[in-house]
Amino acid sequence: MANLLADPDSGLTPAQLAARHGLRVAGERPTIGAYSGQLWRYRHFISAYAHAKLTASFSNARLGQLWQVLTPLSNAAVYFLIFGVVLEQTRNMPNFIAYLTTGVFIFNFTQVSLQQGTQAISGNLGLIRALHFPRACLPLAITATQFQQLLGSIVVLLIIVVATGEPITLMWLMLVPAVLLQTVFNAGLTMAMARLGAKATDLKQVMPFILRAWMYGSGVLYSVTLFAENLPGWATGIVQFNPMLVYIELARISLLENTHLLNDSLPLTWLIALGWAVVAGLGGYFYFWRGEQEYGRG
Amino acid sequence: MVNLEMSNDVTVTLPRIEERIPTVVVDDAHVVYRVYRGSAGNTSPVAAFKRLITRTNTPNVREVHAVRGVSFTAYRGEAIGLIGTNGSGKSTLLRAIAGLLPVERGAVYTQGQPSLLGVNAALLNDLPGERNVTIGCLAMGMSPADVRRKLPEIIEFSGINQRGDFASLPMRTYSSGMSARLRFSIAAAKQHDVLLIDEALATGDKAFRKRSERRVRELRESAGTVFLVSHQLSSVRDTCERTIWLESGEIRMDGPTREVLAAYEAFTNGK
């Protein structure tokens, strides 16, 4: 029954009929402007979904949301035992405990966002195939969840910082823009990982190695001066532009009075932090939007 | 606007006075999807490495030509049943209309954003039913105020609270019928231009089936188009006045439900 006319009454071909009544091609990708508008209308969905995910992840644990702070705290304790006590990084290092926990908590924010980002699409296929919403909601919800987690960690961090003898100064306020820039950076990167993870299923296996290497390159666990001492000049130059190192350094500058830094110039550090946030944020968003109509297929 | 009493015959004989408004136009659509065979192919490390070097991907991927040149036009206020034996391409066609599978050739035009409602559409199993309703409704683009207003209505409609307070328990504790009912209730809470239902009415007990059939009729009357895929011919007979019979990805018959079902029953009994 392959009829050329879609509607016997009007004598139009299917395409003409569709055009006449303003029908659109199914599953067409909206323009990036329209997409951003949709995303804004779905902001309540993003926050509800992020909150729900957070509660769900602790729903089976007896200590519940206490794990939100217990996990980074026990991580920091293990690292302190290895790098502080066994390997004696504490030598000629002021306040190593605060230095270490700042690094661990800040890095953890990005690390978990990216790990979960690879699953943002592939782990929610049921939702994606059932309902229509801008898919960027999913990676953004992951970033929002991790941001909430980070706020919990920061409270613990501030207590540790004060308990280890740091003064409370106005510099602490610098932590706010630093964390916000990192959040934008994370959101963009999480969106990029979500698209990659939707197609390349091997990524989940590779991610732990990439993140491990990234952590060692960000001076989380040891003094950053080791980079300058042991690496050739050009390599140190590269490490200085490492976004994670930059975000961690900004947090350390704001919280610790006297600490080891790789980047001497504070304005330059802020510039790099801002640059990475813009590049990753916009780039990740654009890259994710380009794949919008592919998600949930196959 | 076609009124309901008339609609049974309208598709057959009555001359149309008003112009009917199409909501879905499918124009010679072909859908081919690729299946990753996973363990069925040769997955030994050597074979995988060889594929990587030679850049071939074929042994692991198989193409299935599920829909072959389907054309039809659906109008506002119609409920259309899609029937056919297993693997005839019904669900694939629905997913193409929903915009979830690309068409290889041809085109699918739709009004607004069709919503696909399938039995397998899982929400968040670790969360209580209420929370799932909230999230589901927000995901359909409702405002938080609307969601608060509709929440009791949706829970009531799904009937999950008939055996005690299940709405506050995680969805993983629900029976399969209960969660299918809740999912249907969520999707049916919103006014859709085009609603695609994949076997959802089959689950759930008789009382719920009656309720949901009534809801489908309401949705259709308020200017929507409903597609229903089902193996239960009775629910197609009760809800749809037009039926499309797909066989091996092609339309075998398209017309009034009574005629198509009679032909289909003769076909399946003859086998």
pLDDT single digits (tens) B129-142: 888 888 888 888 88
* Chain B residues with CB-CB distance to A9 below 8 A: 16, 19-20
**DSSP of A159-196, one letter per residue?**
HHHHHTTPPP-GGGGGHHHHHHHHHHHHHHHHHHHHHH
- Cα separation, B59 vs A63, whole angstroms: 48
Q: How far off is chain B from A206, nearest CA to CA, in Å?
A: 16
Asked if residue A246 is part of any domain, the answer here is yes
**Going by DSSP bridges, is the β-strand pair B194-198/B22-36 parallel, antiparallel, or unpaired?**
unpaired
Cβ within 8 Å of residue B250, ≥6 positions away = B68, B69, B70
**A23, A26, A293: residue with CB nearest B96:** A26
- Cα separation, A168 vs B118, whole angstroms: 56
A vs B, Cβ pairs < 8 A, gives 148
Mean pLDDT score of chain A: 85
Question: Residue for token digits 């304790």?
Answer: A77
Question: Residue for token digits 């009829």?
Answer: A3
ipTM: 0.73
pLDDT single digits (tens) A71-117: 878 888 888 888 777 877 666 777 888 888 899 899 999 999 999 99
Domains identified in chain A, total number = 1
B192: Cα within 13 Å, side-chain hemisphere: 28
Q: Quickly state the pLDDT bin for A239 (edges 50, 70, 90).
A: confident
Asked if residue A10 is part of any domain, the answer here is no
* Chain B residues with CB-CB distance to A130 below 8 A: 116-118, 121-123, 183, 187
pLDDT single digits (tens) B26-79: 888 888 876 666 554 566 777 777 777 776 655 566 778 888 888 888 888 888
The verdict on domain B4-114+192-270 having CATH code 3.40.190.10 is: no
pLDDT single digits (tens) B213-254: 788 778 777 757 888 888 778 888 888 889 999 988 888 889
- B173 CB within 8 Å of a chain A CB: no
Give the domain range for residue A268. 29-294
Lowest-pLDDT range of B4-8, B133-137, B164-168? B4-8
* Chain B residues with CB-CB distance to A48 below 8 A: 134-135, 138
What element of type H or E holds B242? strand B242-247
- pLDDT of A7 reads 56
Which residue ranges make up each domain of chain B? Answer: 4-114+192-270
**B73, B118, B138: residue with CB nearest A44:** B138
